[in-house]
Structure 1
Amino acid sequence: MTALVTVGRALAAEAARYTDLGWMRGTSGNLSVTLGRDPLRLAVTASGLDKGELTAHDVVEVDEAGEALPGQRLRPSAEAGLHARIARVAGAGAVVHLHVLAPVVAAERWPDGIELRDLEMLKGFGRAAHDDLVRVPVVPNSQDMGVLGDAFEAGYDPATPALVVARHGVYVWGDDLLEARWRAECLEWLLRFKTAIEGGR
């Protein structure tokens, strides 16, 4: 079994988990794992497929620009370029792009960035539970991954492993798929709390 198929199996399992949560509806969302850094190579879930039914073979290897390497039968996700930018800038080992409702709603209320502090669940997001002001950046949506990548990089904080794209979804990353999942789950709870408690103020 090739390394790409092994990674594809892990990506398919994660995608099925997120689909069960309602975070990858239809064919939306995409996941990636960094395969190498010199040169940068990523395995990204393929475009246009039901994320709850992926197989180990529904993955594409892409370069530092998010373009598929030659000879592959599937197209990478349209957002592969942003995955590659996050992997390069943040040093991420895995990136998950999910269509979670809470971050999108929070971005409507706080379009200049979503501030969080003094919540125990912040520890699961990689930050301190107290006296640590966490600002999750929000950027306008665009179909141009270069534009989104520039916006991500302009507001990038190494201590905050997430980016909300307004009226679209959220990107969360970590050293591997498991850490990215834990952070995504904690961020969803934090932003659901934030919108429930402060959204109407």
Structure 2
Amino acid sequence: MSKRPEASLDSQMPDADQKRRRLDISENGDNAHLVTPEPHDHDHPANLIPALCAKFWTLGWVTGTGGGCSIRDDDLVWVAPSGVQKELMTSSDLFVLSVAQQTDPKNRVYLHKPPAGRPSQCTPLFMAAFTKRGAGCCIHTHSHWAVLVTLILESQGPEKDKAFEINNIEQVKGFGRGHQKQGNLDYHDTLRIPVIENTSHEEDLTEFLEEAMEKYPDTYAVLVRRHGVYVWGDNVHKAKTMCESLDYLFQLAVEMKQLGLPWISNVSKVVTSSGR
């Protein structure tokens, strides 16, 4: 998958294709063209989301219709539907909305709705990543490694179960230092992922996810107890990379726990000839 250009909240000027796409949008029309891109346009959100979800299904991240993915391109957001088999999803199943038009979260305005289906209950959580972190992509998985990590933390008792922490593992370097910060974490740095409690209805998680974003301003992910994880990034490439890195770390953490190995350790920094 090719890397998409990085995007800021609203500062990046749309390219020619984006401008044409905006000009073609009708507020009262079906806007079917937003979910019918050319097949060879692999970077178009309407092509990327089904392709990504099909890959995520092979990893066990979106089985049983759970989980999903959303991509923001300038002001437009493409969202996977709810309650569908993600590995069989096509571009025509997607919902499209405009960030600027979402003044009332309880009455979302969609530029395109498929003939059947309903928008993902994850939509308000995806929107939180887009509006509060300037993300270009947000991925939600039901990874069993993520769930197991939250259960291990839960077994440690109150106040010890609020965040997953791990350091001195190479894959930690796959994460940025935080929103609007330069560079990635170092091997010796501690990665912290907050944990929020699950709710009966997924959309009700939104306020708790937003609280976790405030408390942990540098995080790119939030774990949901006994449920899964939300991961976001500046673009699709970064969100996917961090999601994969995080799942690796979750699996490693579970296996370390089985071996009685600590997630947080003191490892002396190696002095190299480069002086780094």
Q: Scaled by the length of structure 1, what TM-score is found?
A: 0.88
Amino acid of the structure 2 residue aligned with 1:30: G
**Which residue does 2:192 correspond to in 1?**
135
Q: Is 1:168 equivalent to 2:227 in the alignment?
A: yes
**Which residue does 1:148 correspond to in 2?**
205
**Which residue does 1:115 correspond to in 2?**
165
Q: Is 1:86 equivalent to 2:145 in the alignment?
A: no
Backbone CA RMSD of aligned residues:
2.2
Q: Is 1:57 equivalent to 2:92 in the alignment?
A: yes
1:26 to 57, 64, 71: 64
Unpaired runs of 5+ residues, structure 1, are none
CA contact (8 A) 1:123 1:129 kept: yes
**Which residue does 2:110 correspond to in 1?**
69
**Which residue does 2:55 correspond to in 1?**
17
Name the larger-Rg structure. 2
Q: What SS is found at the alignment partner of 2:63?
A: coil
Q: What SS is found at the alignment partner of 1:183?
A: helix
Distance in 2, matches of 1:59 and 1:82, equals: 17
Q: How many residues align?
A: 198
- The 1:146/1:54 distance shift into structure 2, 3 A limit, reads closer
**Which residue does 1:183 correspond to in 2?**
242
Structure 1 vs Structure 2: percent identity of aligned residues?
Answer: 28
- The 1:117/1:5 distance shift into structure 2, 3 A limit, reads farther
Unpaired runs of 5+ residues, structure 2, are 1-31, 38-44, 154-160, 177-183, 261-276
CA contact (8 A) 1:115 1:134 kept: yes
Distance in 2, matches of 1:125 and 1:186, equals: 8
Matches within 5 A, 1:31-42: 31-37=69-75, 41-42=76-77
- The 1:56/1:154 distance shift into structure 2, 3 A limit, reads same
